[in-house]
Structure 1
Amino acid sequence: MTTHALYNSYQLGNLTLNNRCVMAPLTRNRANEKREPVDLNVTYYEQRATAGLIIAEATQICPVGQGYISTPGIYSEGQIEGWRKVTDAVHKKNGKICLQLWHVGRISHSELLPNNMPPQAPSAIRAKAKTFNSKGLVDVSEPKALEIDEIKSLTKQYAQATLNAQKAGFDMIEVHAANGYLIDQFLRDKTNHRIDQYGGSIENRARFLLEVVDEIIKVYPANLIGCRISPASTFNDIDDSDPQNLYSYVVTELGKRKLAYLHIIEGETGGPRDANPKVNFAELKKLFKTHGGMNIMTNNGYNKAMAESAIENNEADLVAFGVPFLANPDLVKRLENNYPLNTPNQRTFYGGTEKGYIDYPFYSD
């Protein structure tokens, strides 16, 4: 029997992946009080090293970038060392691992930030959204609009986080420009009401993302950098009046920079795939590649049949799986061989210890 291309090795930039199944970034809220990865995290990622590529959970680039309790950072020596243990473990299992760089912007609470400061955002518009802090599920705080010099500083902090990720041993970098977090807040006109060079026109609203990408390209080559977008999603109280034109410009510019991949969430984040008929995903994928982008990674509710079909029909080069990887550390083996999947326990997704994290069984022949 011929092995389906989904399970064959694949060349992604300078990296040879063992297959085209990607573990999507998944927030699990299990870092220590210093926002450092711990031994539990090492085991978790090591167990899933048979993914073609692991995209590690969203990781804040600076203390002000944190939006949820117990999420990891990549700005301190302790965090770099903690992540180094993770990457070493994955590499010993012949896996590849990428770090997703994150700043949550307005999706935060002052309790989580230095000196109880307000969250940062392109405009001082409070989100109708919740977050987790020491008190549990709470409304996000009122944000403060970033000054120009603060925006310029943030692009440098993305670059420093990228240097730190390189020091920690990550094979690749992914820029998180999706799901209503800071970069997405700059992109969309519901959340960006600025009247300077970072607001108004599509070109201005995309400026921050592109400046971030241009900075990190100085650290990692473009063929080891990806970017995640969610053009149709309204997650975290975000939206845009003209998403097709906005994202056509964004993916064209990312393509011109010859990025390794465009990681595109098709539809509503964690919801229906046909959420926004204004967005033509096939056209966005085509634009990215036409202008020099290397690969398309698709995401949102994929199962075995959908993933194999996407590869066969050239709708994607890589397929990212989220929830299935939580409960199935050996997901690739299970998909390829039609083995049954473990059922995830949603109550253990966020926070906690071993339960629902590293205790899911591997398939036994």
Structure 2
Amino acid sequence: MQEIFSRIRLGAYALPNRLVMAPMTRSRATADGVPTELMAEYYAQRASMGLIVTEATQPSDIGQGTVATPGIYTDAHIQGWRRVTSAVHEKGGHLFIQIMHSGRMSHPDNVPGHLQALAPSAIATQEQIHTVEGMKDMPVPRAMTLEDVQQTIADFRHAARCAIEAGADGVEIHAANGYLVQQFFAPNANTRTDAYGGSIENRARFALEVAKAVVDEIGADRTGIRISPGATLGGLDEGPEGPALYRYLTAELNRLGLAYLDVMDWGNSALLADLRTLWHQTLILNRPGRLREQVGADVAAGLADMEAYGGHVLANPDFVNRLQMGAPMNTADSATFFGGGSQGYTDYPTLASHDVW
């Protein structure tokens, strides 16, 4: 396991270890998307991780999907995130803000202005989403015009600039887990007949143009991207061409020299090996359900340069220290994952508190 604790260069930064805090939505921002002091405390508690990737953060009003998620496109958002980044930096940590547009994974009740969701095509998910009034069906989105596509790319660019102004070390583009960018990849969500639909190259075009815009704005060494090949979240089906699309996408993204590729693995070992070969910068691997005794195995085997963990880090602010000492871990309380206050958020005990759950 010792390799996981070794230093690594990621883009513009020298990191103290190869452990990544994976992005996790916690729904504790204000109603207008401003990060709070409690959020600053939460992230600062976990600053010993080599890299923190924040919860999904919308680049625009229409990009919001879930209640009480943060934004990064107004002056108030910048000021709120500045409290977070300052708190993390004071503890010696590094933080990238994940920028995510929800696309069709949304409901007007959750969006400022009660806006209809935007997506590649006017195809609903056939799933439900949490709103302030409880669970509701996600309605049919509005198919994006070419003007919408270009505006959304501009929104990602603007959000990236705002993130840097807020003191973030960089941004991660969310192109995974059923949200807008991945919706362009899936033929059952993208039936467009223009330059953004049909062929593999066309379905990957939006992701590549977003990445290029962000790189042009803040630099490749401060830009990462997350993908989840084969993920069916949000009802997506990437079809038989899915693996070929990700090989093409990865090779094209590699040309941009991004700081990292963050892969959420869903079990396609052959594709993962190909992506490892195609990607020449830092590769972060996130395997859902990975056990404690498996920590460091992918780095040791050369499959990844860094490993990302979610629930373990959520429940253990001192995750790195516990790993190094072989100490027991707290168990995450799923009832407090989304919304609320400090309970199940900033009150998990550390080894220093001499109180292990």
Alpha-carbon shift at residue 250 of structure 1 (Å): 0.7
**Is the 2:105–2:179 Cα contact (8 Å) retained in structure 1?**
yes
RMSD across aligned positions (CA): 1.3
5 Å matches for 1:303-318? 303-318=291-306
TM-score of the superposition, structure 1-length normalised? Answer: 0.94
Number of aligned positions between the proteins? 351
**Is 1:105–2:89 an aligned residue pair?**
no
Give CA-to-partner distance per residue, 1:221-261, whole Å, 9 cap, x none. 21221110000210111111121111111111111111111
Structure 2 match to 1:125? 123
Structure 2 match to 1:295? 282
Alpha-carbon shift at residue 323 of structure 1 (Å): 0.6
3-state SS, counterpart of residue 53 of structure 2: strand
1:280 to 271, 288, 291: 271
**Is the 2:11–2:260 Cα contact (8 Å) retained in structure 1?**
no
d(CA) in 2 for partners of 1:74, 1:19: 27
Alpha-carbon shift at residue 114 of structure 1 (Å): 3.8
Structure 2 match to 1:349? 337
d(CA) in 2 for partners of 1:173, 1:362: 28
Structure 1 match to 2:73? 75
d(CA) in 2 for partners of 1:308, 1:189: 36
Give CA-to-partner distance per residue, 1:275-301, whole Å, 9 cap, x none. x68x62111221122xxxx11100023
d(CA) in 2 for partners of 1:92, 1:164: 20
d(CA) in 1 for partners of 2:222, 2:113: 36
d(CA) in 2 for partners of 1:131, 1:208: 25
d(CA) in 2 for partners of 1:164, 1:138: 32
1:225 to 223, 231, 245: 223
d(CA) in 2 for partners of 1:122, 1:280: 25
d(CA) in 1 for partners of 2:303, 2:127: 33
Give CA-to-partner distance per residue, 1:300-321, whole Å, 9 cap, x none. 2333432322111111000000
d(CA) in 1 for partners of 2:113, 2:30: 19
TM-score of the superposition, structure 2-length normalised? Answer: 0.96
Residue type at the aligned position of 1:297: I
2:202 to 191, 201, 204: 204
Give CA-to-partner distance per residue, 1:40-67, whole Å, 9 cap, x none. 1011001000110000110000000000
Alpha-carbon shift at residue 190 of structure 1 (Å): 1.6
Alpha-carbon shift at residue 132 of structure 1 (Å): 1.6
Structure 2 match to 1:94? 92
d(CA) in 2 for partners of 1:189, 1:362: 46
d(CA) in 2 for partners of 1:148, 1:35: 27
Structure 2 match to 1:254? 253
Structure 2 match to 1:144? 142
Q: Gapped runs of 5+ residues in structure 2?
A: none
3-state SS, counterpart of residue 98 of structure 1: strand
Structure 2 match to 1:52? 50
Residue type at the aligned position of 1:54: I
Alpha-carbon shift at residue 113 of structure 1 (Å): 2.3
Structure 2 match to 1:270? none
Structure 2 match to 1:361? 349
**Is 1:265–2:264 an aligned residue pair?**
yes
- Shifted more, 190-199 versus 129-138: the winner is 129-138
Structure 2 match to 1:339? 327
Structure 2 match to 1:192? 190
5 Å matches for 1:235-254? 235-241=233-239, 242-254=241-253
Structure 1 match to 2:214? 216
**Is the 2:42–2:346 Cα contact (8 Å) retained in structure 1?**
yes
Between the two proteins, what is the percent identity of the paired residues? Answer: 40
Q: Gapped runs of 5+ residues in structure 1?
A: 268-273
Residue type at the aligned position of 2:55: E
d(CA) in 1 for partners of 2:116, 2:27: 21
d(CA) in 2 for partners of 1:304, 1:113: 38
d(CA) in 2 for partners of 1:339, 1:10: 24
d(CA) in 2 for partners of 1:194, 1:327: 42
3-state SS, counterpart of residue 210 of structure 2: helix
Give CA-to-partner distance per residue, 1:95-154, whole Å, 9 cap, x none. 000010110000000112243221000000000222221112222121000000110111
